A and B are shown apart, each in its own frame.
Chain A
Amino acid sequence: MAQTPLALFDTDSLLDEEERAIRDTVRQFVDAKIKPELADWYEAGRIPARDLARELGALGVLGMHLDGYGCAGTTATAYGLACLELEAGDSGLRSLVSVQGSLAMFALWKHGSEEQKQEWLPRMATGEAIGCFGLTEPDFGSNPAGMRTRARRDGDDWVLDGTKMWITNGSVADVAVVWAQTDDGVRGFVVPTGTPGFSAPEIKHKMSLRASVTSELVLDGVRLPDSARLPEARGLSGPLSCLTEARFGIIFGALGAARDCLETTLAYAAEREIFDKPLAAFQLTQAKLADMTLELGKGMLLALHLGRLKDAGRLRPEQVSLGKLNNVREAIAIARECRTILGAAGITLEYPLMRHANNLESVLTYEGTSEVHQLVIGQALTGQGAFR
């Protein structure tokens, strides 16, 4: 009797009834509503982001692990499991949810004023309003402290000038959380995207995350009242706290892409015959399948452990780095290895392998590159910062 890779580890036994129900709901949604469309979205480089946001909002996915303001208030582990199922569809779908819930909504929830929360969070939870998060700049990725975007006081107002780059959801967003240098260090601003001087041209010609909206944010004399400033965020720790949230979701999410690749490959290898027997009956294929299953299961155990730590309020940023570094690195290795088993079929959109592998190229470097996570771990081990 053939078992699925994660059934072999019996990781379901580590989940409670509510977590399984949330996981099953997202899986059914992705299987029924998302997977049939993905190849076309990917080929066209377009997604119906507004419709998706509303459907995800109706399920309760958006900002699901936040409390109040219309958010579901689930555990962090349940949020991770939802990310896994979304990314089993496509990393672009999970990115939409990560940026909405863990970057834009979390920034407002954690650092915003009561008025800002009341204005935006309920609408973002339902998907009526889409958010984006502007930290990275064309010349500043892993070193955000050098950002050139500036907010200067002008009477009671603030005026923002600068450019943000690689911003998921940018062109479809109703609100952007933008981080800028001020005389008082880095501060965050809540920018309605209709504000004069704000524009968000979409980045085209991508080979990765094609089922995701990626944009540039241009701030040209964007004038905002002081009430647009996030009052509780001061310095880079503000945006970095949001990144830790989003990275946590990726620890689970990347495994979703890997699981989809591995399950696809298992099914293919069982059917595809070569030299008069199934590909799955060859030792070299089985060695690959066994090694990939081991990495997927180990990654899942790590993710669930980190999820429990987060739910206990004990998860530290360097532990998030352990998870993100390992699980994305292993996921992309699994996607590529699976492709070797499908041969030429694996390069088409008929199967999800190349799509996942290409997506994971982005996931490998966004939300902290693998190298940055190695340095975070290295610093935790040695006490020596080696970032610069």
Chain B
Amino acid sequence: MNIVVCVKYVPDATADRKFEDDNTVDRVGVDGLLSELDEYAVEQALQIKDKQADDTEVTVLSVGPENATDAVRKALQMGADKGVHVVDDAIAGSDALATSLVLAEAIKKIPHDLVVCGMASTDGGMGVVPAMLSERLGVPGVTLGSEISVEGETVKIRRDGDASTDTIEGSLPLVLSVTDQSGEARYPSFKGIMAAKKKPVETWSLSDLGVDAGSVGAGAAWSVVESTDARPPRTAGEIVTDEDGSGAKALVDFLASKKFI
């Protein structure tokens, strides 16, 4: 089986994140890393590979700036077999539609039975790319899996919703996205770290993919960020005073309204 995992290089969420003058996220001046939510995708791909016990190959694919190679390399350290990095100045500022176009064209050039994505990026956080990819590739999209199993040509997931738990299955080829509940991502082992140096990483440009530069980038985006404001400081919150025994209900109502319970 051939598995492609899509990963994003994102600004480190624990560091200061900034915007450029054009209101795009500054992805060069800050430390970046493999999006934590994509680590779960890499993990599931590697678990499928381990269970297949055949010549299953995992290719990690990233569209991003020069240093996005770091995200590819991290996935290779975790155990992926090879990497593809699509980098092109024209891609900067792309929205999800354009990103999914570039990803889809790259995936078409890589042998693939299964495409695995994280549930969303930790910076943009839209979570729409997996569905867009399935549309662009013309294959089923089995998304937001918190438990994944592969039997022959069938991929089965459990999707935990607010009101119900769904079991969804689809036949290969398909696009799968996994949540942060799908299983803790492994640490790269030292052998994995050392082996990753020797694993192949190909670098492709838009012309390699036959994608017109005019169809991607900030200029082609369907939505524009007009301004950004820093999040205001945390407010004091709401204090529930229990005078007549209704406090517990007020707490429960609050938690339910926020979907904590």
Chain A residues within 8 Å of B, Cβ to Cβ? 17-18, 21-22, 25, 28-29, 58-61, 64, 72-74, 78
Interface 1/0 per residue, B36-67 and A, CB below 8 Å: 00000000000000000000000000000000
Nearest chain B residue, comparing its CB with the CB of A19: B193
Please report whether the interface of chain B is mostly helix, strand, loop or mixed according to DSSP: helix
Q: Does B183 contact A (CB under 8 A)?
A: no
Residues of A contacting B187 in the complex (Cβ-Cβ under 8 angstroms): 25, 28-29, 58-59
Could you give 27 example pairs across A and B, Cβ below 8 Å?
A: A17-B197, A18-B193, A18-B194, A18-B197, A21-B77, A21-B193, A22-B190, A22-B193, A25-B187, A25-B188, A25-B190, A25-B193, A28-B187, A29-B187, A58-B187, A58-B189, A59-B187, A59-B190, A60-B190, A60-B191, A61-B190, A64-B190, A72-B189, A72-B190, A72-B191, A73-B194, A74-B194
Q: How far is the CB of B99 from chain A (nearest CB, A)?
A: 27
State whether B188 touches A21 (Cβ < 8 A): yes
Question: Looking at A21, A28, A78, which has the most chain B CB atoms within 10 Å of its CB?
Answer: A21
Residues of A contacting B189 in the complex (Cβ-Cβ under 8 angstroms): 58-60, 72
Residues of A contacting B77 in the complex (Cβ-Cβ under 8 angstroms): 21
Give CA–CA (A78, B190) in the complex, Å.
10
Residues of A contacting B190 in the complex (Cβ-Cβ under 8 angstroms): 22, 25, 59-61, 64, 72, 74, 78
Give CA–CA (A74, B190) in the complex, Å.
8
Give CA–CA (A61, B190) in the complex, Å.
7
Q: How far is the CB of A28 from chain B (nearest CB, A)?
A: 7
Nearest chain A residue, comparing its CB with the CB of B193: A21
Q: How far is the CB of B233 from chain A (nearest CB, A)?
A: 16
State whether A72 touches B194 (Cβ < 8 A): yes
Give CA–CA (A78, B74) in the complex, Å.
17
Q: How far is the CB of B13 from chain A (nearest CB, A)?
A: 14
Nearest chain B residue, comparing its CB with the CB of A75: B194
Residues of B contacting A72 in the complex (Cβ-Cβ under 8 angstroms): 189-191, 194
Give CA–CA (A61, B188) in the complex, Å.
12
Chain B contacts with A in 107-163, Cβ cutoff 8 A: none
Q: How far is the CB of B171 from chain A (nearest CB, A)?
A: 34
Nearest chain B residue, comparing its CB with the CB of A62: B190
Residues of A contacting B191 in the complex (Cβ-Cβ under 8 angstroms): 60, 72
Give CA–CA (A21, B188) in the complex, Å.
9
Residues of A contacting B194 in the complex (Cβ-Cβ under 8 angstroms): 18, 72-74
A-B residue pairs, 9 tightest by C-beta = A60-B190, A72-B190, A60-B189, A21-B193, A72-B191, A25-B187, A60-B191, A64-B190, A25-B188
Give CA–CA (A18, B70) in the complex, Å.
12
Give CA–CA (A64, B190) in the complex, Å.
8
Q: How far is the CB of A18 from chain B (nearest CB, A)?
A: 6
Question: Looking at B73, B192, B194, which has the most chain A CB atoms within 10 Å of its CB?
Answer: B194
Nearest chain B residue, comparing its CB with the CB of A64: B190
Q: A25-B190, A59-B187 are in contact. List 10 more A-B contacts (CB 8 A).
A: A21-B77, A22-B193, A25-B193, A29-B187, A58-B187, A59-B190, A64-B190, A72-B189, A72-B194, A74-B194
Give CA–CA (A64, B194) in the complex, Å.
11
Nearest chain A residue, comparing its CB with the CB of B196: A21
Question: Looking at B74, B188, B197, which has the most chain A CB atoms within 10 Å of its CB?
Answer: B188
Nearest chain B residue, comparing its CB with the CB of A21: B193
Q: How far is the CB of A255 from chain B (nearest CB, A)?
A: 20
Residues of B contacting A17 in the complex (Cβ-Cβ under 8 angstroms): 73, 197
Give CA–CA (A199, B179) in the complex, Å.
49
Question: Looking at A60, A74, A78, which has the most chain B CB atoms within 10 Å of its CB?
Answer: A60
Residues of B contacting A73 in the complex (Cβ-Cβ under 8 angstroms): 194
Q: How far is the CB of A19 from chain B (nearest CB, A)?
A: 9
Nearest chain B residue, comparing its CB with the CB of A33: B187
Residues of A contacting B197 in the complex (Cβ-Cβ under 8 angstroms): 17-18
Q: How far is the CB of A263 from chain B (nearest CB, A)?
A: 14
Nearest chain A residue, comparing its CB with the CB of B33: A24
Q: How far is the CB of B257 from chain A (nearest CB, A)?
A: 31
Q: How far is the CB of A62 from chain B (nearest CB, A)?
A: 10
Nearest chain A residue, comparing its CB with the CB of B188: A25
Nearest chain B residue, comparing its CB with the CB of A60: B190
Give CA–CA (A60, B77) in the complex, Å.
13
Q: How far is the CB of B166 from chain A (nearest CB, A)?
A: 31
Nearest chain B residue, comparing its CB with the CB of A57: B189
Residues of A contacting B192 in the complex (Cβ-Cβ under 8 angstroms): 60
Give CA–CA (A18, B190) in the complex, Å.
9
Residues of B contacting A60 in the complex (Cβ-Cβ under 8 angstroms): 189-192
Give CA–CA (A116, B177) in the complex, Å.
48
Give CA–CA (A309, B229) in the complex, Å.
51
Q: How far is the CB of A156 from chain B (nearest CB, A)?
A: 40
Nearest chain B residue, comparing its CB with the CB of A58: B189
Give CA–CA (A64, B192) in the complex, Å.
12
Residues of B contacting A22 in the complex (Cβ-Cβ under 8 angstroms): 190, 193
Interface 1/0 per residue, B76-93 and A, CB below 8 Å: 010000000000000000
Nearest chain B residue, comparing its CB with the CB of A1: B16
Nearest chain A residue, comparing its CB with the CB of B74: A21
Give CA–CA (A315, B190) in the complex, Å.
24
Q: How far is the CB of B77 from chain A (nearest CB, A)?
A: 6
Q: How far is the CB of A82 from chain B (nearest CB, A)?
A: 8
Nearest chain B residue, comparing its CB with the CB of A82: B190
Residues of B contacting A74 in the complex (Cβ-Cβ under 8 angstroms): 190, 194
Residues of B contacting A18 in the complex (Cβ-Cβ under 8 angstroms): 193-194, 197
Residues of A contacting B193 in the complex (Cβ-Cβ under 8 angstroms): 18, 21-22, 25
Give CA–CA (A25, B192) in the complex, Å.
11
Give CA–CA (A29, B197) in the complex, Å.
22
Q: How far is the CB of A345 from chain B (nearest CB, A)?
A: 24
Interface 1/0 per residue, B185-211 and A, CB below 8 Å: 001111111100100000000000000
Give CA–CA (A29, B188) in the complex, Å.
10
Nearest chain A residue, comparing its CB with the CB of B184: A32
Residues of A contacting B73 in the complex (Cβ-Cβ under 8 angstroms): 17, 21
Nearest chain A residue, comparing its CB with the CB of B187: A25
Residues of B contacting A78 in the complex (Cβ-Cβ under 8 angstroms): 190
Give CA–CA (A28, B187) in the complex, Å.
8
